[in-house]
Amino acid sequence: CFGNILSGSNYDYVRLLGFARVWRMARLVSSTLDVADCEHNVTKGKLFKEEQNVNNLRKQLVIMEESKENEKDIRKKVEGMLQGYKDEVETLTEALKIAAYDVANDAYRELELCDQSSSENEEKESRVVFVDEDGDEFYDNGNDHVMKEGRIVVHEDGSYELR
């Protein structure tokens, strides 16, 4: 059969070469399309993995934002509690100062009674000022107290001394 083609007319030979060229061209196009399809599938696989990664990151972002909001709320509550404690400490400090003032006042009265019996002969008197260790005056309610010594110092722990 192959021998007839070669011995036949040039037209048959040219037809056979044309068919071989078309066949070769079809195979080249087919193999090129197969390579492109394979590369496309690899790219689609990478895209799918990246989309999954993006979705995971979005989920993590939502979780982190919720966590951030929860932390903000908790922080506000803690700051409110802290402010409440500070206010309570300030109130208790004022109460302690008032109590110390009352104790110092009672001590003054006791000292005054002792001094009256021992110093009836002495007429030297001065104004008493109740102060804390820093020299800040306590509430005197407009009362001026008179005694021989000049100051009663009230310490933070509530104790006092005569100076």
What is the residue-wise DSSP string for 11-67? HHHHHHHHHHHHHHHHHHHHHHHHHHHHHHHHHHHHHHHHHHHHHHHHHHHHHHHHH
Q: Cα 18 to the chain's mean position, in Å?
A: 79
> Rounded to whole angstroms, how far apart are CA atoms 158 and 133?
11
Q: pLDDT digits over 120-145, tens only? A: 545 444 445 556 666 665 554 444 44
What pLDDT, on a 0 to 100 scale, did the predictor assign at position 144?
A: 45
Burial of 96 (0-12, 13-18, 19+ CB in 10 A): middle
Provide the pairing of β-strand 126-132 with 145-147.
antiparallel
What Rg value do the Cα atoms of the chain yield, rounded?
Answer: 52
What pLDDT, on a 0 to 100 scale, did the predictor assign at position 149?
A: 46
What pLDDT, on a 0 to 100 scale, did the predictor assign at position 104?
A: 83
> Rounded to whole angstroms, how far apart are CA atoms 99 and 97?
5
Residue written as token pair 């193999």: 31
What pLDDT, on a 0 to 100 scale, did the predictor assign at position 126?
A: 47
Q: Cα 39 to the chain's mean position, in Å?
A: 48
Beta bridge partners of 75: none
Percent of the chain with pLDDT over 90: 48
Parts of the chain with a pLDDT under 70: 1-9, 117-151, 158, 162-163
Residue written as token pair 């690899």: 42
What pLDDT, on a 0 to 100 scale, did the predictor assign at position 44?
A: 96
